[in-house]
Amino acid sequence: MQRLEIWRTTTFRLTLVYGLAFAIGVVAVLGLTYASTAVFMTRQMNQIVVGQARGLQGVPPRALAETFRQLEEQDVRHVYYFGLFRRDGAWIAGNVHRLPPGTPQDGLPRPLREPGFQPGARALAERLPSGEILFVGFDAKVLSGLRAIILSALLLSGALVIVLGLAVGAALSLAPLRRIRAMQQASQPILDGELSARLPTSNKGDEIDLLAGIANGMMDEVERLLWAVKSVGDNVAHDLRTPLTRLRALLYRVREETGPSAAHADMIDQALSETDALLTRFKALQRISEIDRRERRAGFASVRLQALVEQIGELYAPLAEQHGQRLLVEAEDACEILADRDLLFEAFSNLMSNAVKFTPAGGVVRLKLTRRTEGPRLEVIDTGPGVPEAEREAVLERFYRGREAGRAPGCGLGLSIVAAVARLHNFRLELGDAAPGLRVTLDCWAPAMGR
Amino acid sequence: MTRILAIEDDEITAREIVAEFTRRGYEVECVADGREGLVRAVSGEFEAVTLDRMLPNVDGLTIVSVMRKAGIDIPVLMISALTDVDERIRGLRAGGDDYMTKPFASEEMSARLEVLLRRARAQPRETMLRVQDLELDLVTREARRGGREIALLPTEFKLLEYLMRNAGEVLTRTMIFEAIWGYHFDPGTNLIDVHLSGLRRKVDAPGLTPLIRTIRGSGYALSATA
């Protein structure tokens, strides 16, 4: 059965989706904060740059170098940049030694994208009335700091969201997961055919309980219907057998009293054999439900399969010979198993009967008992037409006869009896391809309970 | 004349039992009540009993176990609607000699009872079985027909022994399967027939009078007399 993993649960996925939405929200808030702060700060810096430039405009160009020096001395944060350049761009004074190329000299602040400056630095250049170019820049390194803060906040909150989301998701999923697993476990017997089993419900009345309730309700109905169908089948088989037996008794008496030379003796014989065929079918049907009804393990005893298989081989040898088939019996001394000896014999007998029936003259029927670590394995392998893969399930059902069985005598109940015996013992019955022919495998050990 | 007691409360089944045994030349007395049945069964007037499992007042199991305790060892054929294997075992353990489930074919019932009767009358500890010119030595496990030895496989030996012990009786395929292989299910007609025809090839060699007869619709019998 497929095992439900925690990350597949709805709760876990929902928690993850919530976490993701939360992360997107955090990113949006931080991004918005960053953007509006950046706009605000840019405006501030523009004003600073413009104000500084205005103050310097009033200083005579010859005194500018001195003013620059004084200003630099006061500027302990190293945020102000000045430069005085000749008309051709040659440096005269200031801590900026190169006029960034292509700077319009219109006195409007612009972003300063020069190596050595942080992003967000602003600068302006303007032509002094004397013809020199004044350059004023401001780089507060605030924006990049802000960006770093926001980025680390994003990383941290992202990591937090992920870890917390996973943890909370797992924690929240655990309880429902446990319940789902309990249900899965409870449903295994149902899948194995024990229709009286039900799914567990809690008193929470939540959606899981609701679904379990619905499933249990459906199981009730399935069980009821199945019992109805079964008992109808059983009753029909039982009720029809009695009048049929009486009919047969009458026919038999007529034949006994008129003698074999009577006018219609042949027809009476035919009627008798038809009645017998019908009776056989009903008997087999009843037999199946009898086996199915039997208390599990009641009447089980230690069985040595080797002897049983050899006995089966001996029982079927003359029949195989009559059909012109070679019967090969290979029986290893397998370990003793706990089983119903009579039912196993009946099952093996049915398998052999089928194999002999469907194998053409000159073919080979193999009856094989092998010892495996889990227990004894019985195989009946023939060289007949086999059963197409699509029909292998169906031939185990009552009355189903494969297409190949068309002309062969029989009622299509033999394999159903085998299946019923396998069910009773919890043995695995499998039909496979022996290329050519059919290989029926009966693993005579009960698989470990619960998976 | 052999007298048989039928303890059976189902009227139709009782009528069938009476008709079948009467036709075969037995005298049958039929009782429907358990208590009355028990009284008649221990009376010593009968050679065999057919016994329903479920009866009013006293049930079949009690009747047979009381009979056995009273030292009455006439053959008891139990007939029951209870098909379960456990029921069969319970019936046989209580002292029944054979167990049949309803519905049944009447000739199967009479054949079974006749085999039981024969077994009850048989000389114990026979070591040599003889039917006409056929001999079976149970000690040396040798078979001879007209002095000539017949080689038999173990199953064939068992089969021939069963036929010879019940020479002259009709043995149904089910009875043969139960007696030789010891299982109680329907193995299909053909399976038993093929064993019988194998034995027949050895016993009834060409030129000899056939001893193994096929009874149409019922089973087999070994001719007791020429």
Q: Which residues contact A44 (CB under 8 A, 6 or more apart)?
A: none
Q: Which of B104, B121, B138 is the last residue in one of the domains? A: B121
Task: Check if the beta carbon of residue A332 is closer than 8 Å to that of residue A369.
Answer: yes
Please tell me the least confidently modeled range out of A343-352, B153-162, B179-188: B179-188
Question: pLDDT by residue (tens digit) across B78-92?
Answer: 998 877 777 888 889
- A344 CB neighbours in chain B (<8 A) are none
Task: Check if the beta carbon of residue A173 is closer than 8 Å to that of residue A9.
Answer: yes
Mean pLDDT of A57-62: 81
Please tell me the least confidently modeled range out of A113-122, A123-132, A272-281, B56-65: A113-122
Tell me what pLDDT residue A411 has.
63
Same domain, yes or no: B20 and B87: yes
Q: Is A418 on the interface with B (CB under 8 A)?
A: no
DSSP string, chain B: --EEEEE---HHHHHHHHHHHHHTT-EEEEE--HHHHHHHHTTS--SEEEEESS-SSS-HHHHHHHHHHTT----EEEEES---HHHHHHHHHTT-SEEEESS--HHHHHHHHHHHHHHHHSPTT--EEEETTEEEETTTTEEEETTEEE---HHHHHHHHHHHHTTTS-EEHHHHHHHHH---S---HHHHHHHHHHHHHHHS-TTSPP-EEEETTTEEEE-S--
Same domain, yes or no: B94 and B188: no
pLDDT-derived band at B179 (thresholds 50, 70, 90) equals very high
Query: Is omega for the bond preceding A111 within 30 degrees of 0, making it cis?
Result: no
Tell me what pLDDT residue A451 has.
32
As a whole number of angstroms, the distance between CA B198 and CA A314 comes to 13
Find the largest Cα–Cα distance for chain A: 155
CB contact under 8 A, A246 and B12: yes
In this predicted structure, the answer to whether residue A374 has a pLDDT above a threshold of 90 is: no
Query: Is omega for the bond preceding A388 within 30 degrees of 0, making it cis?
Result: no
Same domain, yes or no: B76 and B172: no
Mean pLDDT of A23-50: 86
The mean pLDDT of chain B is 89
Same domain, yes or no: B64 and B16: yes
As a whole number of angstroms, the distance between CA A276 and CA B44 comes to 38
Task: Check if the beta carbon of residue B48 is closer than 8 Å to that of residue B73.
Answer: no
As a whole number of angstroms, the distance between CA B207 and CA A369 comes to 43
Roughly how many angstroms between the first and final C-alpha of chain B, as a whole number? Answer: 24
CB contact under 8 A, B184 and A342: yes
3-state DSSP call for residue A376?
strand
CB contact under 8 A, B185 and A242: no
Residue tagged 């009381």 (tokens): B66
Give the amino acid at A117: F
| C-alpha distance from residue A180 to each of A17, A135, A151, A187, B127 (Å) | 21, 73, 42, 10, 72
Mean pLDDT of A210-225: 89
- B100 CB neighbours in chain A (<8 A) are none
Q: Is B195 on the interface with A (CB under 8 A)?
A: yes
pLDDT-derived band at A313 (thresholds 50, 70, 90) equals very high
Q: Is B183 on the interface with A (CB under 8 A)?
A: yes
Q: Give the predicted TM-score (pTM) of the model.
A: 0.64
Same domain, yes or no: B81 and B182: no
Task: Check if the beta carbon of residue B142 is closer than 8 Å to that of residue B87.
Answer: no
Tell me what pLDDT residue A182 has.
87
Mean pLDDT of A93-113: 84
Residues within 8 A of A (CB atoms), B 91-130 only? 102-107
CB contact under 8 A, A244 and B104: no
Closest partner residue to A318 among B12, B104, B198, by Cβ? B198
CB contact under 8 A, A244 and B102: no
Helix (H) or strand (E) holding A441: strand A438-443
ipTM score assigned to the predicted complex: 0.84
Report which of residues A155 and B37 the model is more confident about. B37
Same domain, yes or no: B109 and B170: no
Q: How close A388 comes to chain B (CA, Å)?
A: 26
Q: Is A271 on the interface with B (CB under 8 A)?
A: no
- A346 CB neighbours in chain B (<8 A) are 183, 185
Mean pLDDT of A330-338: 87
In this predicted structure, the answer to whether residue A240 has a pLDDT above a threshold of 90 is: no
Sign of CA dihedral A247, A248, A251, A252: negative
Nearest to B2 by CA among B105, B79, B114, B124: B114
Same domain, yes or no: B64 and B25: yes
Nearest to B185 by CA among B194, B173, B202, B170: B173
Task: Please tell me which residue of chain B has the smallest CA distance to A356.
Answer: B191
As a whole number of angstroms, the distance between CA A53 and CA A266 comes to 133
Mean pLDDT of A120-128: 86
In this predicted structure, the answer to whether residue B165 has a pLDDT above a threshold of 60 is: yes
Task: Check if the beta carbon of residue A344 is closer than 8 Å to that of residue A302.
Answer: no
Tell me what pLDDT residue B6 has.
95
Closest partner residue to B186 among A245, A283, A319, by Cβ? A283
Which residues is B78 bridged to in the sheet? B51, B99
SS3 content of chain B, % helix, strand, coil (to 5): 40, 20, 40
Same domain, yes or no: B74 and B157: no
Report which of residues B43 and A286 the model is more confident about. B43
Task: Check if the beta carbon of residue B27 is closer than 8 Å to that of residue B2.
Answer: yes
CATH of the domain at B56: 3.40.50.2300
Tokens of B206: 């060409």
Distance of CA A97 to the CA centre of its chain: 70
Nearest to A161 by CA among A28, A26, A29, A6: A26
Same domain, yes or no: B117 and B33: yes
Nearest to A358 by CA among A417, A421, A415: A415
Q: Residue B34, CB half-sphere, CA atoms under 13 Å: how many?
A: 14
Give the amino acid at A415: L
Provide, rounded to the nearest whole percent, the portion of chain A with pLDDT above 70.
94
CB contact under 8 A, B187 and A315: yes
Closest partner residue to A315 among B12, B83, B191, by Cβ? B191
Helix (H) or strand (E) holding A304: none
In this predicted structure, the answer to whether residue A140 has a pLDDT above a threshold of 80 is: no
In this predicted structure, the answer to whether residue A62 has a pLDDT above a threshold of 60 is: yes
Question: pLDDT by residue (tens digit) across B124-164?
Answer: 777 889 999 999 999 999 999 988 999 999 999 999 999 99
Residues within 8 A of B (CB atoms), A 169-228 only? none
Q: Is B23 on the interface with A (CB under 8 A)?
A: yes
pLDDT-derived band at A402 (thresholds 50, 70, 90) equals low
Q: Domains of chain A by range and CATH?
A: 7-144 (3.30.450), 207-293 (1.10.287.130), 301-443 (3.30.565.10)
As a whole number of angstroms, the distance between CA B157 and CA B151 comes to 9
Q: Which of B121, B148, B178 is the last residue in one of the domains? A: B121
Task: Please tell me which residue of chain B has the smallest CA distance to A242.
Answer: B103
Nearest to A71 by CA among A3, A136, A158, A162: A136
Residues within 8 A of B (CB atoms), A 286-345 only? 286-287, 290, 294, 298-299, 311, 314-316, 318-319, 322, 342, 345
CB contact under 8 A, A318 and B83: no
CB contact under 8 A, A346 and B188: no
- A349 CB neighbours in chain B (<8 A) are 183, 185, 187
- The number of folded domains in chain B is 2
Q: Judge residue A56's burial from the number of C-beta atoms within 10 Å of its C-beta, 0-12 exposed, 13-18 middle, 19 or more buried.
A: buried
**H helices, E strands: number in chain A:** 8, 12
- B155 CB neighbours in chain A (<8 A) are 314-315
CB contact under 8 A, A299 and B185: no
Tokens of A78: 């190293």
- Which structural domain range is residue B111 located in? 3-121
CATH of the domain at B160: 1.10.10.10
Sign of CA dihedral A197, A235, B83, A313: negative
Task: Check if the beta carbon of residue A226 is closer than 8 Å to that of residue A232.
Answer: no
Same domain, yes or no: B132 and B210: yes
3-state DSSP call for residue A379?
strand
Same domain, yes or no: B16 and B117: yes
Which residues is A367 bridged to in the sheet? A329, A380
Tokens of A67: 């003013």
Tokens of A55: 């103050």
Tell me what pLDDT residue A320 has.
94
Q: Which of B121, B141, B170 is the last residue in one of the domains? A: B121
Same domain, yes or no: B14 and B117: yes
Tokens of A97: 């030694």
